[in-house]
Amino acid sequence: MGISRIQASCAVSLAPVIISDNNNLGSNLFIPFTKSWTSWSCPAQRKPLWLKEQMDQYQATSRFDVKTLKLGSAMHMRNRHPIFLMFRYFYLILVPIGALLLFLGEQTFGFLCILVGPLLFMRKTFWQFRLIHSSKSSPEAGQMLAWTFSDHEVHQESKGHEKTLRWGEFEDRYLSPKGILLYLQKDQYFILPKSAFSSRGDFEAVSKMCETKIAAL
């Protein structure tokens, strides 16, 4: 029976060694040696390697839409401007303080408090409006984004667009129970909502991967 070329590449080699006994020339001892290796040319070995590589990858699918942008901007504000968010509702108190100053005759500071208070409170809304308005001109607006996270890189793919980034290219990351932000620059980031992942386990695994591979500022 013949052995195919593929079978031959996976076969275990046997190297018999003959040891002669001087006292008994007719007695020979055969000791077989086995040799094993890992080779992509062997289907039996290639499949486990391929399965291991696939198990180390995580998939996600998100949509570049208004809902995702609002979530991303809220997470960005919490990451970059936490003090502002902490005192955001305090700014509304400036309105009655300004009214009191006007009543006491302090017109300059009174009008200033009445005007500045609501403007500071609405800063988050203005930020989201500017972000959403500028994103409408993006070629990816409204499209589905497919993500693949592996041990060495992050791959993003959409209609007519494909990008692969090494982990070292990211400047910062922000992790929260609602999603993940991956920063390429100080104010340039990718948004990955928790809903983009097929399971909670995948979301937690990618979050841990980002935490390990990207140093936080």
Model confidence pLDDT, tens digit, residues 84-94:
888 888 888 99
Task: State the pLDDT at residue 41.
Answer: 53
Residue 141 in any domain: the answer is no
| Confidence bin at 132 (pLDDT 50/70/90) | confident
Do residues 76 and 171 share a domain?
A: yes
Query: What is the rounded distance in angstroms from the CA atom of residue 205 to the CA atom of residue 194?
Result: 12
| Confidence bin at 32 (pLDDT 50/70/90) | very low
Query: What is the rounded distance in angstroms from the CA atom of residue 50 to the CA atom of residue 198?
Result: 22
Do residues 29 and 74 share a domain?
A: no
Do residues 153 and 85 share a domain?
A: yes
Nearest 5°: CA angle at 120, between 119 and 122? 65
| Confidence bin at 184 (pLDDT 50/70/90) | very high
- Model pTM greater than 0.85? no
Do residues 127 and 207 share a domain?
A: yes
The tens digit of pLDDT for each residue in 102-113 reads 989 888 889 999
Do residues 19 and 126 share a domain?
A: no
Do residues 172 and 88 share a domain?
A: yes
- Domain encompassing residue 9: 5-33
User: Count of domains in the chain?
Assistant: 2
Q: Phi and psi (nearest 5°) for 136? A: -65, -25
Q: Compute the average pLDDT of residues 4-27.
A: 43
Do residues 94 and 129 share a domain?
A: yes
Do residues 102 and 201 share a domain?
A: yes
